Amino acid sequence: MLASTHPLRHAPAAWLTLLAMGGAPQMAQAQAMPEFIAGVHAPEDLEALPGGQALLATEFQLPGTDRPSRFVVVNLASRTVRPVAMRARQRSAWGDADCARPDPKAEFSGMGLRQVTLPGGQRRWRLLAVNQGSRIAIEAYELQQHHGEVRLTWQGCAPLPAPLRPNDVAPLPDGGFLVTIIGDARHFGPADGLQRLLSGEVTGDVLRADAAGHYRHLPGTAAPTPNGIVVDASGTRAWFAAWTGHRVMAYDLRTETITRRIPLGFAPDNLSLTPRGTVLAAGVPDVSFAPACLGAGGAAAACRSPFSVAELDPTLPADDPASVRLRVTAPAGVIGGATIAVELGQGLYIGAFTGEQLVRYAAP
């Protein structure tokens, strides 16, 4: 396995702006200086690995670039970044029976990690990832850790019905999963496709699938550019982000109804769950920067966008100001195109679909 070491460094020019807001997401004063972990390319999504000592990141492949998409592990103690060892063996009975081998040109984005019970009572960690490479599918892997090394063994895939385009995936306790549909093929084609995706109109919804990859649309989930999604430990409640709608939707999987629409002062991208069962949403103030950023392979100045991270507490009433708390607001120049925040230990880690680093704040 190849490995490269990238030390943690401070960025003197990057200042954290923390706001006290009455009647809106609230925040207390905290440290003014973020830290950076270098050497991870466009970390569009992050998952905390079992044990709490490392993060799994998907490196996003921007349009117009030839850098392959891959999984990497960020060791939080040593501040090192290592590619994940990938292998394929005779797969389990997960997914579509016609999906016989891994995609050699996979392009990963959203992912979800969950411990599952296999036949015979064995407990395993299963990783699901969105693939928009040679096929449009949800890919399944078994995740194993050995003396600090992480291995992923491909188990199968569940192709999406054409022309739907997935964005994120959340595993369910029964072996199935939820997947957000950000749009369809026309939103990713030439002419006005991207503009329609960013317009704020309803472009997609949420699908539910069983372990065999049989999909169905969940009623009431149509939304503007559905993005990140998470499911609670019981598998009965889900939250998904409406990116251009600037809100997060709470969904009851038992009654299959929207139970709450949570407006935010920014465009929420990916979501994560904290150890307390609250939901973290990260994103940028608006999506107007996206065409220039994507068109320049992530190197344009427009990618140096501000970002915010909010914490949503589903145990509190919707009219309680403390139910939505602003954890971080950062000015342009810290990280561009922020997409995900994960709380792990005493740190809050933020990834983006551009750049060569993660950002860490002491958890406020």
**Domains of the chain with CATH codes:** 4-22+34-362 (2.120.10.30)
Instruction: Output the DSSP codes for 107-138.
Output: -EEEEEEEEEEPTTS-EEEEEEEEEESSSEEE
Are 261 and 318 in contact, with CB atoms under 8 Å apart?
no
Are 79 and 55 in contact, with CB atoms under 8 Å apart?
no
In angstroms, the CA 288 to CA 294 distance is 11
In angstroms, the CA 282 to CA 343 distance is 12
Residues of the chain with pLDDT under 50: 1-24, 28-31
Instruction: Output the DSSP codes for 88-101.
Output: E-S--S-S-TT--S
CA angle 298, 44, 148 (to 5 degrees): 125
The phi, psi pair for 303, rounded to 5°, reads: -75, -10
Global pTM value: 0.89
Torsion sign across C-alpha atoms 245, 127, 42, 183: negative
Q: Which residues touch 122 (CB under 8 Å, ≥6 apart)?
A: none
For residue 260, what are the β-bridge partners? 250
What pLDDT digit, counting tens, does each position of 236-257 carry? 999 999 999 999 999 999 999 9
Which residue matches tokens 């009965």?
Answer: 236
User: What is the percent of the chain with per-residue pLDDT over 90, rounded to a whole number?
Assistant: 66
Structure tokens at 329: 């607001």
pLDDT of residue 11: 34
Closest CA to 160 of 150, 148, 152, 168: 168
Rounded to 5, what percent of the chain is helix, strand, coil? 5, 50, 45
Closest CA to 62 of 355, 289, 308: 355
